[in-house]
Amino acid sequence: MTTGLEGKVGLVTGGTSGIGRDTALLFAKAGVKVVVAGRRELEGQETIELVRAAGGDGLFVRTDVSKDADVEALVQKSVEKFGRLDIAFNNAGIEGVWVPIVNQSEKDWDRTIDINLKGVWLCLKYEIRRMLKQGGGGAIVNMASTMGMIGSVGAAAYSASKHGVMGLTKSAALETARSGIRINAVCPAVIETSMSERLFSAPEVHKSVLGRHPIGRFGRPAEVAEAVLWMCSDRASFMTGQCLVLDGGFLA
């Protein structure tokens, strides 16, 4: 059974590494023309080279998702290059500074919310506008987290941003359902990325966090990418306004 994505145009923010890069490659292998967005030019071009090596076609657009003009330009450049926009994975995000609320600076709070939550809102705004202009139809997946369902000591800003993404996803899905645009979120637990290395590399911390994953390991970027591909495909045609948890038993 095919995915129904052949010939479509997809956008991946935060596509310079990790989950975003793996998703861009999987999109390309499914026949999607891929636009990769991120702040790091070198890594972004590396992703595009991998996309082309996989037989796909791609474009990198340097983007700060917290800036309205950048996101508007990203969608516009995607359309200028490939003619339309059919699917999107709003993946860009940061962990922020993990400290108790009483020690959190306003600057750190604002930066985490700006990228993780405002960035998703801006992406939705311009992606939806484009899809509606095309006559409706399309699929969007937002990056949330299991931290969007629970709290954690020292991670208030990150957790709040991901709770916000889940609320944003549901509202956007309701606004666009009649237009044939499906909007969902993916909620991973700890995945083997540079972010998790920064947060959990200390031996005792690693052991403690790993112990909260009953499956006995952290997730792999490709496992999240597979879920995103499915959620964007025709196979998930009756799914909207939902958050798909991939957590190795973490929440259970």
Kindly list the domain boundaries of the chain, sorted by start residue: 9-193+221-246
> How far apart, in whole angstroms, are the C-alpha atoms of residue 18 and residue 35?
16
Query: pTM for this one?
Result: 0.95
Contact present, 126 and 11 (Cβ < 8 Å): no
**pLDDT mean over 142-152:** 95
126 is catalytic: no
> How far apart, in whole angstroms, are the C-alpha atoms of residue 188 and residue 144?
7
Fold for 9-193+221-246, please state it: Rossmann fold (3.40.50)
Task: Give me the pLDDT at residue 194, please.
Answer: 72
Task: Give me the pLDDT at residue 207, please.
Answer: 87
Percentage of the chain beyond pLDDT 70 is 99
pLDDT, greater one: 111 or 198: 111
> How far apart, in whole angstroms, are the C-alpha atoms of residue 91 and residue 145?
11
> How far apart, in whole angstroms, are the C-alpha atoms of residue 133 and residue 63?
23
* Averaged pLDDT of the chain: 95
Which among 60, 121, 158, 250 is annotated as catalytic?
158
